[in-house]
Amino acid sequence: MVNQIPLRDFFRNPEKVAFKISPDGSHISFMAPYQHRMNIFVQPVTGRGEPTRITAETDRNIAGYFWANNQTLLYFKDNGGDENFHLFTVNTDGTGNRDITPFGDVVARLVDELPENNDEVLIALNKRQPELFDVYRFNVNTGQLLMAAENPGNIAEWLTDHEGKIRVAVASDGVNHQLLYRDTEDQPFRTIMTTNFRQTLSPQLFTPDNRFVYAVSNIGRDKSALVVFDIANGKELEEIYAHPEVDVASVIYSYKQKKLLGASFITWTTEFAFFDHGRRQLQQTLEQLLQRKVYVVDKDKEEQNFIVAATGDRTYGTYYLYNTTTGNLQKLADISPWLNENDLCEMKPITYTSRDGLTIHGYLTLPKGIEPKNLPVVVNPHGGPWHRDVWGFNPEVQFLANRGFAVLQMNFRGSTGYGRAFWEASFKQWGKTMQNDITDGVHWLIDQGIADPERVAIYGGSYGGYAVLAGLTFTPHLYACGIDFVGVSNLFTFLNTIPPYWKPFLDMMYEMVGHPEKDKQHLTEASPVFHVQQIIAPLFVAQGAKDPRVNINESDQIVNALRNNGVEVQYMVKENEGHGFHNQENKFEFYEAMEQFLEEHLHPANVTEPVTG
CA 378 to chain CA centroid, Å, is 21
- In this prediction, residues 397-422 reach a mean pLDDT of 98
Domain count across the chain: 1
Q: Which of 164-168, 360-364, 434-438, 605-609 has the lowest mean pLDDT?
A: 605-609
Rounded Cα–Cα distance for residues 457 and 141 (Å): 54
Burial of residue 435 (number of CB atoms within 10 Å: 0-12, 13-18, 19+): buried
| Catalytic pick among 426, 547, 582, 601 | 547
Range of the domain at 403: 342-610
- In this prediction, residues 126-143 reach a mean pLDDT of 94
- Is 410 a member of any domain? yes
| 603 band by pLDDT with thresholds 50, 70 and 90 | confident
289-298 pLDDT, tens digit each: 999 999 999 9
Q: What is the mean pLDDT of the chain?
A: 95
- Is 382 a member of any domain? yes
- Is 352 a member of any domain? yes
32-62 pLDDT, tens digit each: 999 999 999 999 998 777 899 999 999 999 9
- In this prediction, residues 429-439 reach a mean pLDDT of 98
Whichever domain contains 499, its CATH number is 3.40.50.1820
- Is 453 a member of any domain? yes
- In this prediction, residues 342-349 reach a mean pLDDT of 97
Rounded Cα–Cα distance for residues 85 and 180 (Å): 28
pLDDT at res. 97: 95
Asked if 527 is an active-site residue, the reply is no
| Catalytic pick among 86, 382, 522, 579 | 579
pLDDT at res. 610: 47
Instruction: Write a three-state SS string for 149-204.
Output: ECCCCCEEEEEECCCCCEEEEEEECCCEEEEEECCCCCCCCEEEEEEECCCCEEEE
Q: Residue 609 pLDDT more than 60?
A: no
- In this prediction, residues 149-161 reach a mean pLDDT of 94
- Is 86 a member of any domain? no
Measured CA to CA in angstroms, residue 528 lies from 64, 90, 221, 479, 516 at distances of 35, 47, 36, 15, 15
Q: Residue 123 pLDDT more than 90?
A: yes
| 132, 126 contact by CB (below 8 A) | yes
- Is 239 a member of any domain? no
Asked if 579 is an active-site residue, the reply is yes
- Is 218 a member of any domain? no
| Catalytic pick among 462, 489, 527, 555 | 462
pLDDT at res. 612: 38
- In this prediction, residues 388-417 reach a mean pLDDT of 98
| 611 band by pLDDT with thresholds 50, 70 and 90 | very low
Q: Which residues lie below 8 Å from residue 309, measured CB to CB, with a gap of 6+?
A: 19, 294, 295, 297, 317, 318, 319, 320
198-223 pLDDT, tens digit each: 999 999 999 999 999 999 999 999 99
DSSP lists the bridge partners of residue 157 as 170
Asked if 354 is an active-site residue, the reply is no
Instruction: Identify the H or E element spanning 318.
Output: strand 318-323
**317: alpha, beta or left? (left if phi > 0; alpha if psi -120 to 50):** left
pLDDT at res. 253: 97
| 361, 268 contact by CB (below 8 A) | yes
